[in-house]
Amino acid sequence: MSNPWVVAGATVVIIALSAFFVAVEFALLAAKRHRLEDAAASSRAARAALRSSAELTVLLAGSQLGITACTLALGAITKPAVHHWLTPVFESWGAAVWLADVAGFVLALIIVTFLHLVVGEMAPKSWAIAHPETSATLLALPMRAFMAVTRPVLVALNEAANWCLRRVGVEPTGQVASGRSPEDLRHLVEHSANVGALDPAYSEQLSGALDLRRLTVADLLREGADPVSVGGDATAADVRAAADRSGHLRILVRPAGAPAPTGVVHVRDTLLLDDAAPVAGLVRDAFVLTADTPLHTALTRMRETSNHLALVHQPSGAVGVVTLADVLARIFPRTVAEPVAAG
């Protein structure tokens, strides 16, 4: 093929196709699935992008097949033509035939490689990463059409790749992982604080929030702490006195003969009562948690049930107390007062 206009046109088409496949590949890897889902309600292209993200390994096989085909096409069409054009130029400069041929070959290879890498790969990759949802949606429909035509080949290539992965103990997956694990986020917070990009106060708060996923209620219990309580026959004066001594507003109630408290009374409910008035009618059942309850679950359940205090039954048989303030103080150590045992 010696016609320069035909070669130039073919080269432009091949590089454009290579850019298309590269952009599709990186767009689906970088796109946030929830944003595609939001757009899918009103966009056919977004729905196509979602379908592609659900079979990501097949899509990647299609992208790699397309990129490889474009690379081979450039090597078969553009490079020989450029080599053919450059060799006579070097000969006209007085170079020997063999030297002109080698120089033409090397320069043709450099030109084609530059066009393919920079224009056909690096530029579309950067665009797709910078605008992942836009590029994924824009390119989804033509890529789905290409996948429909080549699906038998793509599935075979994907299965072959999965077979190789299983041979080395790696379980393949068909979708990109979304989100980040708590440990990933913890490392990110620590790194940001170390390099000065995150204020230490915010770092502590974020680390405390991430702790909710790995800590249990038992981690907040104080060793040897004896929860403040009154007897089942306590009067309003007894409750007010216990609150005055301890500084707690919620006082546990331990019925006679019971091994542990079973109820709770708020001191505000006793303010209008005579000192000798019994508080048995004001006692509410205590909210109970087990010591192995994850901290995030405890926080959710306490908020949903509007309980600020929970009795914690430990495997040893001992009973502890955790308050909502204890949990919040673990998350916001600099903004919440020191946790209390039965506040």
Is 121 a domain residue? yes
Looking at the structure, tell me whether residues 222 and 316 fall in a common domain: yes
CATH number for position 268: 3.10.580.10
Contact between 309 and 341 under an 8 Å Cβ cutoff? The reply is no
Looking at the structure, tell me whether residues 230 and 307 fall in a common domain: yes
| Overall average pLDDT of the 204-212 stretch | 65
**How far does the chain reach from its first CA to its final CA, in angstroms?**
87
| Overall average pLDDT of the 268-279 stretch | 86
More confident residue, 297 or 331: 297
| Overall average pLDDT of the 44-57 stretch | 85
Looking at the structure, tell me whether residues 17 and 98 fall in a common domain: yes
pLDDT at site 18: 92
Model confidence, pTM: 0.53
Is 172 a domain residue? no
Domain that holds residue 191: 182-211
Residue 2 corresponds to which tokens in the numbers above? 């010696």
pLDDT at site 175: 54
- In terms of average pLDDT, the best of 14-23, 44-53, 302-311 is 14-23
Looking at the structure, tell me whether residues 34 and 153 fall in a common domain: yes
Contact between 14 and 62 under an 8 Å Cβ cutoff? The reply is no
Give per-residue pLDDT as tens, 129-156.
888 888 989 999 999 999 999 999 988 9
Is 327 a domain residue? yes
Tally Cβ neighbours within 10 Å of residue 183: 11
d(CA 72, CA 58): 21
**Phi, psi of 284, deg, nearest 5:** -110, 150
Is 174 a domain residue? no
Q: Among residues 106, 133, 167, which one ends one of the domains?
A: 167
Looking at the structure, tell me whether residues 35 and 98 fall in a common domain: yes
Is 114 a domain residue? yes
Looking at the structure, tell me whether residues 43 and 163 fall in a common domain: yes
d(CA 22, CA 335): 49
Give the amino acid at 322.
V
pLDDT at site 69: 92
Sign of CA dihedral 51, 53, 57, 59: positive
pLDDT at 14 over 90: yes
Looking at the structure, tell me whether residues 152 and 201 fall in a common domain: no
Bridge-based pairing state of the strands 263-266 and 250-254:
antiparallel
Number of domains in the chain: 3
pLDDT at 36 over 90: no
Looking at the structure, tell me whether residues 70 and 143 fall in a common domain: yes
C-alpha atoms less than 13 angstroms from C-alpha of 70 in its C-beta half-sphere: 26
pLDDT at 222 over 80: no
| Overall average pLDDT of the 253-272 stretch | 82
Looking at the structure, tell me whether residues 135 and 279 fall in a common domain: no
Is 81 a domain residue? yes
* Residue among 1, 57, 9 at smallest CA distance from 29: 57
Is 102 a domain residue? yes
Tally Cβ neighbours within 10 Å of residue 93: 9
Is 318 a domain residue? yes
Burial grade of 336 (CB within 10 A; 0-12, 13-18, 19 or more): middle
d(CA 293, CA 283): 25
Phi-psi region of 306 (alpha: psi -120 to 50; beta: other; left: phi over 0): left
Q: How many residues does the chain have?
A: 343
pLDDT at site 339: 40
Looking at the structure, tell me whether residues 98 and 159 fall in a common domain: yes
Give per-residue pLDDT as tens, 69-96.
999 998 888 888 888 888 888 888 888 8
The mean pLDDT value of the chain amounts to: 80
* Residue among 191, 215, 213 at smallest CA distance from 203: 191
Give per-residue pLDDT as tens, 225-252.
667 788 888 888 888 888 888 878 888 8
Looking at the structure, tell me whether residues 107 and 147 fall in a common domain: yes
Looking at the structure, tell me whether residues 197 and 85 fall in a common domain: no
pLDDT at 186 over 70: no
Residue 199 corresponds to which tokens in the numbers above? 């204020």
